[in-house]
Amino acid sequence: MIPKILEGKTLAAEIRCSLPARIAAAQSRLGRKPLLAAVHCPGDYASDVYLKKELKACEKTGIAARAHEIAKDTTPSDFIKLLRQLGSEKSVDAILVPRPLPRQLSDAAIWEHLDPKKDIDGASVSGMGRLFLCKTPAELEAGGFFMPCTAWAVIRLLRRHGINPSGRNAAVLGRSSTVGRPLAHMLSCLDATVTLAHSKTADIAKTLSGCELVVSAVGKARWVKADMLRPGAVVVDVGTNSDENGVFCGDVDYDAARETASAISPVPGGVGPVTLACLLENIVSAFEKSA
């Protein structure tokens, strides 16, 4: 079977192309560029890698950005102080907090202190609450809060390639609050019947054998094998991993899975660029609200 390749670069480029004009319009009212405050945990591999990409993308788009380093042993009260300070600073339009945070900051109550108007990755208690109160596609689209970017990127990628989750059995592998849980909820709003699988799921292959749509966000290199998939399944790979040879790859054994899938997203070039574009778009929306 020759699968449809769910590439994300074209969609990402289109989203990013639309942003400079929006920035210029809001900038003429505010007299300044949009400003992102990105919290950074130096030494954390994911935080280091994502921050670099985000800062570069901001610069290319005309968004000012500054990083706020936190130490590995930052106390909850110091972290909350930082979130509050960024929330009250008028010139800061958007706040981005890497996840997972250091262990001592894992209390969910921390997210009550992230200003929802600046919460461009939908991580605040209010943002999450608004998302989980939605039940229909129209409610998801209605706005008023920011979507978690990676989960929303998956939905936009599917939509871009004409894949409607409605009526399908879908599996989301991974239940993080960053990707898996919000995505499972979004798919259910789009009328898919969703199984949210995780490390304690008894038989993942059996679960997947009944699923026409599979999204993997597990974080294990080439872990989803072709024989775990139902023939003709649509497969979206969120994972960004490096294998034992240091090669960048997704969660799905892509070369084998493309023989059985009807559509599959590549890594790199699938969900990743769309996530970054959604993030930039949310920064611009937050800036427009400030203006």
Q: Which residues bind ligand NAP (CB under 6 A)?
A: 100, 150, 173-176, 178-180, 197-201, 204, 217-220, 238-241, 271-272, 275
CB of 30 to ligand NAP, least distance (A): 29
Hey, how many other C-beta atoms are within 10 angstroms of the C-beta on 66? 12
Smallest gap from Cβ 212 to ligand NAP, in A, equals 19
Distance, CA of 106 to CA of 20 (rounded, Å): 36
- Pick the closer one to ligand NAP by CB: 147 or 173: 173
Nearer to ligand NAP, 26 or 147 (CB): 147
* Shortest reach from residue 85's CB to ligand NAP, in Å: 26
Q: How many beta carbons lie within 10 A of that of residue 124, not counting itself?
A: 25
Q: How far is the CB of 123 from ligand NAP (least distance, A)?
A: 12
Q: Which is nearer to ligand NAP, 76 or 100 (CB)?
A: 100
Contact at 8 Å (CB) between 252 and 224?
A: yes
Q: Do residues 172 and 237 touch, judged by C-beta distance below 8 A? A: no
Query: Mapping DSSP to helix (H, G, I), strand (E, B) and coil, where does residue 119 land?
Result: strand
Give least dist CB 171 to ligand NAP, A: 10
Cis bond before residue 268 (omega within 30° of 0): yes
Residue number with CB closer to ligand NAP (26 or 214): 214
Please, which residues bridge with residue 248 across strands? 242
Of 33 and 181, the one with the shorter C-beta distance to ligand NAP is: 181
Q: Closest distance between ligand NAP and the C-beta of residue 32, in Å?
A: 29
φ/ψ (deg, to 5) at 36: -100, 130
Type of residue at 263: A
**Any residues with CB less than 8 A from the CB of 245 and at least 6 apart, and which?**
none
Nearer to ligand NAP, 141 or 243 (CB): 243
